[in-house]
Structure 1
């Protein structure tokens, strides 16, 4: 099997506030491999977007990081959590690892045409490129956007067109790894499908893609692999067909049961506050098995590429 392009090991992020500590990410380990699209799913507030920021070194000054993130695109792995800003800005962000943001509207400058902004991005990332206008057109076509749309201002684009535009920005330097943080937020279903199909196509072309979403239908459509996050931790992980077809963790089972395709049965209760996590298993207050389970399990690797953090995996 081809080695990972990016990997994390026991990555944790804490934010120290005046009177509390936010446990945003706890002991997260995964690999992003070429040709694979890993979907990270979970309810809002579980730490998914903080994790994306940690991968790119974009955390605020009060963040405390433990564990590591490694980029494996050079002769030697580059540890990103300890890399200086000049390395992250000059060699990593936008070049080897690109971000597709949640909101295209806030990512684009409203008073300049999309083409002028894309050309500026190319000038920064690929200073030796001679034909920037032609490359802008090629990038637009690559993401399914009419090149003429580049000559419009951001407010003149539909939501789907704007999302394809920021995807073109992400591809400007032909990155190895693409991080997409809730890129379908606010889009209708046809545009959601087109966006995740475009990300899957990029994975099929040999890139490693991380898609962060709470949209289970989008996750099932695009994923080759899936990681389920709850209260800052990954609680289940494995090949998408296995996890979606036969979920083992009660939280994963609850997430899937809450979708329209599986009966629209909502999970009881609410996710815990990350600055006030319950002792033991964080899911226990909402778990249907809580009366007979009192353990706080770590994520354990299982056969066939799956991993699970549950004391009762036999009770499916």
Structure 2
């Protein structure tokens, strides 16, 4: 299978005052093929959005990255700002940001921002810009009657749809959608993920970062589960959401917390990223933990895998 994006051992550390470091992302590896959607799921604060920012060179100055992230022969982690700004962002990699209000220009209407993106990224003739702008808005279910509004005049859901419309304009080979369904009702969630799915079905890559497991099930080919900065499970979406189901206890708990399933929350809280244990970070919350969990298991590096000492056993038989 061809690879569009190859991420190998990506780590992100934030240097804090007093010399302290926070390990926001640790040794993350995954590939995305043309035509594939990978859903990156996990609780808030596990490092999903930091990973996306690292791929686009949008981390703050106190961040340090290591590893590699190759797209079309270019390592995104070592590319300079000029290369990222001129040839990557918007052109090779599109972004639906987690906080759209921060990415929309506050003094310009949605229409003017869409028109500029269409002109710059597609070369559409001026005589066709008006029609193309309305079409781009409709693609993200953004109402044409709101195109002449400024970002501060939009609700959170409308701002999200405006940001999605902008991200889709260039039909970038890789699209990163960071919580693209925030603020949307269920019908619009389904419509948005279906449009994003079409982006992948046309032969492009799609990385969807979400806590909405229903949306992930609807859109993903594979699922990567992140916990405390690490990917703890990589699985085919059909197997993950169906049979045999997830193999990592944390991933199992995420699904069981859904209202349509057991509706049983995972006990406890995620660890602080600045004080991670030496072994499995999920062990303090895991009823299946043993002394073996004091040693960190290997992270998944291929298309499938589980970072758990008991991943080869069905979950209900761990104590058998």
Q: 1:298 and 1:105, CA in 2 relative to 1: closer, same or farther beyond 3 A? A: same
Contact persistence 2:7–2:28 (CA under 8 A): yes
1:291 and 2:290 correspond: yes
1:185 aligns to what? 182
Q: 1:111 offset after TM fit, Å?
A: 3.9
SS at 2:69 equivalent? strand
TM-score (norm. length: structure 1): 0.91
Report if the CA contact (8 A) 1:237-1:307 is conserved: yes
C-alpha distance in 2 between matches for 1:24 and 1:301: 18
Unaligned runs of 5+ in 2: 316-320
RMSD between aligned residues = 2.0
- Is contact 2:140-2:192 (8 Å) kept? no
- Residue aligning to 1:122: 118
TM-aligned CA distance change 1:16 to 1:153, over 3 Å: closer
Change (3 A) 1:160 1:232: same
Equivalent position of 1:13 in the other structure? 12
202-211 vs 102-111, which deviates more? Answer: 102-111
Aligned counterpart, 1:52 = 52
- How far, CA to CA, are the matches of 2:210 and 2:52 in structure 1? 11
For the residue of structure 2 that corresponds to 1:122, the secondary structure is helix
The structure-2 alpha-carbon separation of the partners of 1:237 and 1:116, relative to structure 1 and needing over 3 Å to count, comes to same
Aligned position for 1:93: 89
SS of alignment partner, residue 252 of structure 2: helix
Number of the residue aligned with 2:133: 136
| Deviation sequence 1:79-121 (CA, Å, 0-9, x none) | 1111111111000001110100123333333443211111222
Structure 2 distance, partners of 1:63, 1:215, is 28
Question: Contact between 1:103 and 1:183, CA under 8 Å: does it hold in 2?
Answer: no
C-alpha offsets along residues 170-228 of structure 1, whole Å, 9 cap, x if unaligned? 12222111101112223232222222222112112222111101111221121111000
CA distance in 1, matches of 2:258, 2:197: 22
Aligned to 1:311: 309
Give the number of equivalent residue pairs. 309
Compare 186-195 and 261-270 and name the one that shifted more: 186-195
How does 1:151-190 map onto structure 2 within 5 Å? 151-155=148-152, 157=154, 159-190=156-187
- Hey, what does 1:253 align to over in structure 2? 252
**TM-score under structure 2 length normalisation:** 0.90
Q: Does the 8 Å contact 1:293/1:312 carry over to 2?
A: no
Tell me if structure 2 keeps the 8 A contact 1:136–1:147. no
**In the alignment, does 2:276 pair up with 1:280?**
no
Shift of 1:127: 5.6
